[in-house]
Amino acid sequence: MPAQDASASFRFSTAVLPEAVRAKAVHELYERATPPDRPEPFEPLSDFLVSADITKWMLPGLSVISGTLGGLRQAVRSINSVVSSEDDLLVAINLNGRSTAHRRDQEVVLRNGDAMLVTRGATAFNFTHPRLVRFMGFRVPRDAIEPLVGRLGEGLVQVVPHYTKALKLLVTYASAIAGEQRSYTPELERLVATHMHDLIAATAGATRDGQEIAEGRGIRAARMRAIMADITANIDNSDLTVAAVAQRQCVTSRYVHKLFEGEGLTFSTFVLGRRLSRAHRMLSDQRLDDRTISSLALDVGFGDLSYFNRAFRRRYDATPSEIRHSAGSDARRR
């Protein structure tokens, strides 16, 4: 059922609905919504379980929708059928599962990680999701990215394979933004939208000048996000190095250092800060009271207990033992 979310234009889910009424609820979703929240219309598929859990949120010149769909066909309306002339580019990313796209006699199968770029044409375009798929989609005005990619004609259909670097960065960046509390200022919203425009343009195939512009804005920001996420995922590795992160991200060590310099940081200070923050959370968690402080330090990547104690005290003006004791005292008072 539709539900309000502080960080989204709308949220819709069939999870709490009986199977018998899901098809009707999905059909009514389009009728109830009003622009700019109105989605592309859905049509239930016979003999398949209807399932939908979608979240849509808006940024200046960009809408983002993500979630899961199953037992449904979604129509990209033709130009003539759109009441308010929507001169836009649609980007559909099949994160997990299998979808089939149709326009007249064209049929394209999207598998894990593949994407499709579509502009409205004289005929409708359908995405069919018989089985449950996890997806992410973007709608952006063509005039927002055409300066970077050149003219996008009507009825464009372009498949982007899952291994495309710009596509991976787009998914990483959008996922990170969607997972945050989006109490953004208007200025920050415009900046994030610009970054996504750059990443969509790079995914579509930017011109040489457009690629250079995108590299200095959206691609740079997305790579920074990806590198920070990589560090967080591997923070327990005491041998975590800039060279290892650079290799996984397919960039040079010097480029990683330059990204951190642009943020007023260094690689080592960022890693240390993440490790200390995680150690502080673990020491404050009573469920981990049976663990020794040295074992927790090892779990967050510190190979030297003396160094951990010194760094922790400089950061929090307290020893690890004092933080653990304080957390226990606070819990007993409650």
Q: What is the residue-averaged pLDDT of the chain?
A: 86
311 neighbors 272 (Cβ within 8 angstroms) = yes
pLDDT in tens, 6-63: 345 778 899 999 988 998 888 777 666 555 555 667 888 888 999 999 888 888 899 9
Q: Which helix or strand (DSSP H or E) is residue 220 part of?
A: helix 218-233
How confident is the model at residue 331, as a pLDDT?
A: 53
Give the burial class of 49: count Cβ atoms within 10 A of its Cβ; 0-12 exposed, 13-18 middle, 19 or more buried: middle
Q: Which CATH architecture has domain 10-226?
A: Sandwich (2.60)
219 neighbors 173 (Cβ within 8 angstroms) = no
Compare 161 and 57 and report the one with higher pLDDT.
Answer: 161
Per-residue pLDDT band for 99 (boundaries 50, 70, 90) equals very high
How confident is the model at residue 38, as a pLDDT?
A: 57
How confident is the model at residue 3, as a pLDDT?
A: 40
Question: ∠ at Cα 253 (303, 250), nearest 5°?
Answer: 105
Per-residue pLDDT band for 235 (boundaries 50, 70, 90) equals very high
Compare 304 and 29 and report the one with higher pLDDT.
Answer: 304
Per-residue pLDDT band for 1 (boundaries 50, 70, 90) equals very low
Q: What is the mean pLDDT of residues 222-251?
A: 93
- Alpha-carbon gap, residue 260 to 256, rounded angstroms: 7
Neighbours of 114 (CB within 10 A): 21
Percent of the chain with pLDDT over 90: 59
pLDDT in tens, 237-296: 988 999 999 999 999 999 999 999 999 999 999 999 999 999 999 999 989 999 999 999
Instruction: Tell whether the model's pLDDT for residue 4 goes beyond 50.
Output: no
Q: What is the mean pLDDT of residues 112-130?
A: 85
- Alpha-carbon gap, residue 59 to 9, rounded angstroms: 10
Q: Which helix or strand (DSSP H or E) is residue 57 part of?
A: strand 51-59
- Alpha-carbon gap, residue 291 to 321, rounded angstroms: 12
CA nearest neighbour of 281 among 310, 311, 323, 230: 323
CA nearest neighbour of 203 among 188, 193, 218, 192: 218
How confident is the model at residue 180, as a pLDDT?
A: 67
CA nearest neighbour of 168 among 230, 118, 210, 108: 230
Which stretches within 234-266 are classed as H helix?
Answer: 242-249, 253-262
Neighbours of 11 (CB within 10 A): 17
223 neighbors 169 (Cβ within 8 angstroms) = yes
- Alpha-carbon gap, residue 135 to 53, rounded angstroms: 10
pTM: 0.82
Q: What stretches of 104-201 adopt beta strand conformation (E)? A: 106-110, 115-119, 125-129, 133-141, 157-160
Total residue length of the chain:
334
Per-residue pLDDT band for 182 (boundaries 50, 70, 90) equals low
How confident is the model at residue 280, as a pLDDT?
A: 95
Q: What is the mean pLDDT of residues 74-87?
A: 67
How confident is the model at residue 6, as a pLDDT?
A: 39
How confident is the model at residue 160, as a pLDDT?
A: 94
CA nearest neighbour of 2 among 213, 211, 326, 15: 15
Residue partners of 25: CB distance under 8 A and separation at least 6: 1, 14, 17
Compare 1 and 60 and report the one with higher pLDDT.
Answer: 60
3-state secondary structure of 188: helix
